[in-house]
Amino acid sequence: MPEVDTAHSEHFDVVIVGSGAAGLTLALRLADGARRIAVISKSALAEGSTWYAQGGISAVLDAEDSIEAHVADTLNAGAGLCDEPAVRFTVSRSREAIEWLIARGVPFTRAEPGEKAPGYAYHLNREGGHSHRRIIHAEDATGRAVETTLEALARNAEQITVFEHHMAVELIMTDDASEPRGRCRGVYVLDIEGDQVHTLSARHVVLATGGANLAYLYSSNPHAASGDGIAMAWRAGARVANMEFMQFHPTCLYHPEARSFLISEALRGEGALLKLADGSRFMPRHDARAELAPRDIVARAIDAEMKRTGEPHVWLDISHRDKAFIEKHFPAINRRCLELGLDMSREPLPVVPAAHYTCGGVITDLAGRTDIAGVFAIGECAFTGLHGANRMASNSLLECIVYASAAAEAIAADDACRAPDPGEPLPPWDESRVTDSDEEVVVAHNWQEIRRFMWDYVGIVRTTKRLERALHRVELLRREIHDYYGTFRVTPGLLELRNLAQVAELIIRSALERRESRGLHYTRDFPHTLPRAMHTVLSPPREDVPGVVYRPL
């Protein structure tokens, strides 16, 4: 074993990779004990998908609502592929999750005087797929309210050490006779500003890295959503499931200065209508629920109408609501649109679908445990069975809070049963055989190529021929990236490219395995839905099965 560089090594009880709602909730839940907790953030602590979540958090709060109704709506949106125990587990804990956030100071929007109280006297929205008003929100910037509240608490917690502008490189695996896949002992982390890879050892490593939506050319997600946790877990030996189900948000603003700005589904919940250039509606022709149909149906309808008419976008019109209503309920969206010269109280907004949410991910149990001893996954990078073939609006932030809390309980129980970790030093990152790259253009070019062919070949509507073309391209690119990775020092761009190429291949192979159309996966070659719903499970290569790389079940 090489000599340990103690100057760049540190031991924690728990290392959490990711600083969104899931990661910070877990950190704060664990901070009640005497643990040392590290939170790794690729950029500033609050800069992630949570910050940009507009709509809200679904929860059973209204006396006229019920757990059964929320479960039924989620199962229906999931197109037969949700794991019902996971849905019930999540929904039955929704009220406690909201109460925990309220107790920590999240400023949810209160109901108007005289408005029917939903239990807490907070205003509730209704979004696509929901049969009741059950979306608790902080105006139209719920994610920002949740993230800033949790961020402030995490920064003030003595047990939590925050590593901003750091990026996880790889999980550190060691042999363990009792664990067939070995045991994770920590993670290598790149200090982006210091250009140095650190070794963080830990009893538990938790992946809370978000989704993989930057695999697509057009995405509503911030730059961090490059599938890092999914790719690292796969390389370490964890299975993934249902990666073919990539959700496209139906209404992303079509504007050259705001290509990733979402127009919340809550607008349609409050009566906004989707229209063509001539002012006519089209959603009633596609689904009886019209604008309140689940996201996959609305996105496919918009895609079909754009292809039929040749127009680059459709229109979202809420101008029939008065200006005061819009300013009160959608202040952030209204403000941003006005900055761009768009007044939605007087005119419709141009919108297009954009990659938005990864419904598959690393397989976990109901406490976030993965196949790998010592590794948990929570939030969007995890596959819990909650979302099925299509995520229902506003179930995602709920999932983050519920599963972070469950993971905290499991980690605490595990710690109580095990002897103290001696924190033995791990080998440092080895850069002895690499050099600085003088061809960064290769990274930028490959990044754009992946996102372009994923958008063209693995988008809202798919065919087997397109998928096979995409698979051929990603296999070639992954070989190039592998050679590049083994030759040059790691950079954030190279690490993200490597991870994006891996998750892109997982998405493509999963899509090829599903020979039906279901939920978010629609293929012209298999337009019908099979009578039996089955998950697509991919397993990493095993040394004892030569040549077998993917083994779908």
Q: Which residues contact 363 (CB under 8 A, 6 or more apart)?
A: 238, 239, 240, 241, 370, 371, 383, 537
Selection from 369, 445, 460 nearest residue 183 by Cα: 369
- What is the DSSP secondary-structure string of 33-71? TT--EEEEESSSTT-SHHHH--S-EE---STT--HHHHH
Q: How far apart are CA 121 and CA 131, in angstroms?
A: 20
- Enumerate the H helices of 390-539 as residue ranges: 395-417, 440-457, 464-485, 492-513
Buried b (16+ CB within 10 A) or exposed e, 70-94: bbebbbbbbbbbbbeebbbbbbebb
- Is the separation of the CB atoms in 47 and 192 below 8 Å? no
Which residues, in sequence order, are bridge partners of residue 249? 354
Token duo for residue 208:
């809370």
Q: Which residues contact 29 (CB under 8 A, 6 or more apart)?
A: 404, 405, 408
* Catalytic site residue from 181, 185, 203, 295: 295
Residue with tokens 């065919």: 463
Q: How far apart are CA 69 and CA 79, in angstroms?
A: 16
- The amino acid at 144: R
Q: How far apart are CA 263 and CA 333, in angstroms?
A: 7
- Is the separation of the CB atoms in 215 and 501 below 8 Å? no
Give yes or no: 295 in active site.
Answer: yes
The 3-state DSSP class for residue 467 equals: helix
- The amino acid at 111: A
- Is the separation of the CB atoms in 521 and 550 below 8 Å? no
The CA-atom distances, in angstroms, between 448 and each of 5, 353, 548 are: 37, 19, 30
Residue with tokens 């996954």: 377
CA 127 to chain centre: 19
The 3-state DSSP class for residue 524 equals: coil
394 burial (CB, 10 Å; 0-12 / 13-18 / 19+) is buried
Q: Supply the residues annotated as catalytic.
A: 295
